[in-house]
């Protein structure tokens, strides 16, 4: 599943390719997309300029010049591919957006679960999501107050977008290892010092992710990029104890039983 750094990277590429351009055509190419993008939505988007591309958590928002918004969710396997109109279409193309200057933006998605929707001017209601982790809005005090209001273990809490935006399953495990906090620790009992360490760890793993994931992908096996994710049974990089896996709220969590404390 694309995590926040991948969606940010995708949004940057989209911004570079399409911001300031005029939409010539917007076409769903798969039945799963047709229901989100009916004919009226396709026609309403045509002729509009893409003023800017915003990312909020893992949602991409294309702001059109009349105030309408195209909302994009990659879900499990979505991504952008950029070609020129008239080139051979990419595999698994689900939605096609062509600009008047001949740029073809394709939403490619092997599993066809992505969603693209058009909201009429003023109709978009922003989802209730917490602060962006890489901005100053993600403060220790705010994070601590939000954690104090919750019950249950910390790892599933980190996946809740209302707490902090866009932390997915991989980075939640990674951040807890970095902060030396056991994934089963109760959210409302974490000391200020541990919350502060966790906040820094979330930022650190998200911030350092792109270099590992984009530039090392071909050379480094993916499991070697991670601190704990997918490495159960392998030695902890910090203390050499064998890492463990546990299931929490239906998702896999990876952690070190020795150096991550409750
Ligand atoms: Zn360890």
Supply the pLDDT for residue 215.
37
Q: How many CB atoms lie within 10 A of CB 192?
A: 11
Of 21, 251, 257, 258, the catalytic one is 251
Q: What is the pLDDT of residues 3-37, one digit of tens each?
A: 888 898 899 999 999 999 999 999 999 998 888 99
Supply the pLDDT for residue 210.
52
CA angle 168, 229, 209 (to 5 degrees): 60
**186: CA distance to ligand 1 center in Å?**
20
**187: CA distance to ligand 1 center in Å?**
21
Q: Report in angstroms the alpha-carbon separations of 44 from 30, 38, 65, 117.
A: 19, 10, 12, 12
Of 48, 58, 94, 231, the catalytic one is 58
Question: In the chain, pLDDT over 70 holds for what percent of residues?
Answer: 94
Burial class for 124, CB neighbours closer than 10 Å (0-12, 13-18, 19+):
middle
Burial class for 206, CB neighbours closer than 10 Å (0-12, 13-18, 19+):
buried
**90: CA distance to ligand 1 center in Å?**
44
**239: CA distance to ligand 1 center in Å?**
4
58 carries an active-site annotation: yes
**Segments in the chain forming alpha helices (H):** 4-18, 31-34, 39-45, 140-148, 154-158, 169-178, 192-210, 222-225
- What is the Cα–Cα distance from 46 to 65, expressed in whole angstroms? 11
- What is the Cα–Cα distance from 10 to 55, expressed in whole angstroms? 10
183 carries an active-site annotation: no
Q: What is the pLDDT of residues 50-109, one digit of tens each?
A: 999 999 989 999 999 999 999 999 998 899 999 999 999 999 999 999 999 999 999 999
- What is the Cα–Cα distance from 163 to 9, expressed in whole angstroms? 22
155 carries an active-site annotation: no
Domains annotated for the chain, with CATH where assigned, are 4-119 (3.20.190.10), 140-255 (1.10.8.50)
**206: CA distance to ligand 1 center in Å?**
21
Report the pLDDT averaged over residues 98-124: 96
């Amino acid at each position: 599943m694309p995590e926040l750094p991948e969606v940010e990277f995708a949004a940057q590429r989209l911004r570079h390719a399409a911001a300031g351009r005029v939409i010539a055509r917007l076409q769903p190419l798969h039945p799963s997309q047709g229901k989100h993008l009916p004919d009226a939505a396709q026609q309403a988007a045509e002729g509009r300029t893409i003023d800017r591309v915003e990312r909020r958590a893992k949602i991409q928002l294309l702001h059109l010049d009349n105030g309408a918004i195209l909302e994009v969710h990659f879900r499990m396997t979505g991504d952008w591919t950029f070609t020129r109109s008239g080139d051979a279409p990419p595999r698994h193309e689900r939605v096609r957006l062509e600009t008047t200057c001949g740029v073809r933006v394709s939403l490619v998605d092997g599993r066809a679960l992505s969603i693209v929707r058009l909201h009429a001017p003023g109709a978009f209601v922003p989802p209730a999501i917490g602060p962006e982790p890489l901005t100053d809005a993600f403060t220790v005090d705010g994070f601590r107050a939000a954690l104090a209001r919750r019950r249950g273990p910390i790892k599933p809490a980190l996946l809740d977008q209302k707490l902090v935006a866009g932390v997915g399953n991989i980075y939640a495990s990674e951040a807890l290892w970095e902060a030396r906090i056991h994934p089963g620790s109760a959210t409302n009992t974490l000391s200020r010092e541990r919350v502060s360490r966790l906040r820094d760890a979330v930022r650190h793993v998200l911030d350092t992710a792109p270099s590992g994931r984009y530039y090392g992908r071909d050379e480094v096996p993916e499991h070697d990029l991670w601190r704990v994710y997918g490495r159960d049974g392998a030695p902890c990089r910090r203390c050499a104890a064998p890492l463990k896996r546990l299931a929490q709220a239906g998702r896999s969590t990876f952690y070190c039983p020795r150096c991550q404390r409750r």
